[in-house]
Amino acid sequence: DAGVIQSPRHEVTEMGQEVTLRCKPISGHNSLFWYRQTMMRGLELLIYFNNNVPIDDSGMPEDRFSAKMPNASFSTLKIQPSEPRDSAVYFCASTLDRGAYSNQPQHFGDGTRLSIL
């Protein structure tokens, strides 16, 4: 089975440019998560969706970050304008949420390594 697919794997761009990261969750999963990983802060949850609806975006750093999930098989994370401090690895994960206490594990993509110069 195909896992969570993220693109691009690597992105290098200049400060001020718009960056769009893409994620295709595992087919049949109904929850999707965006994380950011840095050496200083470890793994941080940015936002998550349940049935395509954003549930908690309290981890989104600021208004420069936005995320969408137009359908069950696709999500984007956009940074506009980008800044050097946004450099990190961004992960997407998905799971099948059967409700409270369903305790299903999250499945992670291989990440997008973003470098803002």
Partner 1 sequence: AQSVTQLDSHVSVSEGTPVLLRCNYSSSYSPSLFWYVQHPNKGLQLLLKYTSAATLVKGINGFEAEFKKSETSFHLTKPSAHMSDAAEYFCVVSDGQAAGNKLTFGGGTRVLVKP
Q: Which residues bind partner 1 (CB under 8 A)?
A: 4, 31, 33, 42-43, 45, 48-50, 55-56, 91, 93, 95, 97, 99-111, 113
CA–CA distance, 71 with 65 (Å, rounded to integer): 19
Find the shortest distance in angstroms from Cβ 112 to partner 1: 10
Find the shortest distance in angstroms from Cβ 42 to partner 1: 5
Q: Which is nearer to partner 1, 17 or 27 (CB)?
A: 27
Q: How far apart are the first and last CA of the chain?
A: 36
Find the shortest distance in angstroms from Cβ 110 to partner 1: 5
Q: Which is nearer to partner 1, 64 or 72 (CB)?
A: 72
In sequence order, the 6+-apart residues with CB closer than 8 A to the CB of 1 are 26
In sequence order, the 6+-apart residues with CB closer than 8 A to the CB of 61 are 46, 86
